[in-house]
Amino acid sequence: MKRILLIGLLATAGACNAAVATGQVFQNSADHLPVQKTMSVDQIVLEEYKALRAEIILCLGNRVTIVSLGFAALGALLAGGLGLLGSAKPQLFISALIIGVGVSLTCLYVFDVWTVESRRLARASYHNCYLENKIERLLPGEVKPLEWEHKWRTNETYKSILPSDKGVPWIFLFVPLVSIVGGSILFVRGANKEDYPKFYPWRIPFALSVALLLLWDVFLHWEDFQNLKAIWDSTVC
Q: What is the pLDDT of residues 71-83, one digit of tens each?
A: 999 999 999 998 8
User: E strands along 46-170, which residues?
Assistant: none
Does a structural domain hold residue 13?
no
**20 part of a folded domain:** no
Distance CA 237, CA 233 (A): 11
pLDDT (average), residues 209-213:
92
| Amino acid sitting at position 87 | S
Chain segment 181-202, per-residue pLDDT in tens = 999 998 888 877 777 777 778 8
* Residue among 58, 45, 52 nearest 127 (CA): 52
**pLDDT of the residue at 4:** 45
Inform me whether the pLDDT recorded for 6 exceeds 80.
no
Number of structural domains the chain divides into:
1
- How high does pLDDT run on average in the chain? 80
Give domain status of residue 111, yes or no: yes
Q: According to the 3-state scheme, what is the secondary structure of 100-121?
A: HHHHHHHHHHHHHHHHHHHHHH
pLDDT at position 227: 83
| Domain assignment present for 21 | no
Share of the chain above pLDDT 90, in %: 35
pLDDT for the residue numbered 180: 93
pTM for this structure? Answer: 0.75
Is the pLDDT assigned to residue 136 strictly greater than 50?
yes
Tell me, yes or no, whether 15 lies in a domain. no
pLDDT surpasses 50 at 96 = yes
In angstroms, the CA 97 to CA 80 distance is 11
The pLDDT, as a whole number, for residue 108 is 95
- Find the domain containing 112 and state its range: 40-233
Classify residue 8: in a domain, yes or no.
no
pLDDT band at 143 (very low <50, low <70, confident <90, very high): confident
Residue 83 lies in a domain: yes
pLDDT of 33 over the 80 cut: no
Per-residue pLDDT, 37: 62
Residue 183 lies in a domain: yes
